[in-house]
Amino acid sequence: MSKFALESICIISLNRRLGSLDPNLPHNSEQMKCKRAAQDLLRCNFECEEDLTWKIYPTKTSKTLQESLKTLTEVCDRTLWEFKEGIEERNARDPDRRLNMVEQLLLDQELSHQDIVTFMTDLLPGGSETTTSTLIVLLYLLAKYPQVQAKDQEEVDRVLGRDSSPITAKQVNQLSHIRATMKESFSGIV
Quote the DSSP letter at residue 96: T
Residues in the chain: 190
Residue type, 60: K
The burial class, CB within 10 Å (0-12 / 13-18 / 19+), for 112 is exposed
Instruction: Give me the amino acid identity at 68.
Output: S
Q: So what's the pLDDT on residue 190? A: 45
- pLDDT above 70 (res 189): no
Q: Which of 74, 80, 179, 69 is nearest to 126 (CA)?
A: 69
Digit-coded pLDDT (tens) for 70-94: 999 998 898 888 888 877 788 788 8
pTM (whole model) above 0.75: no
Residue of higher predicted confidence among 13 and 29: 29
pLDDT tens digits, residue range 120-174?
888 888 888 888 888 888 889 899 999 999 999 999 999 988 877 888 889 889 9
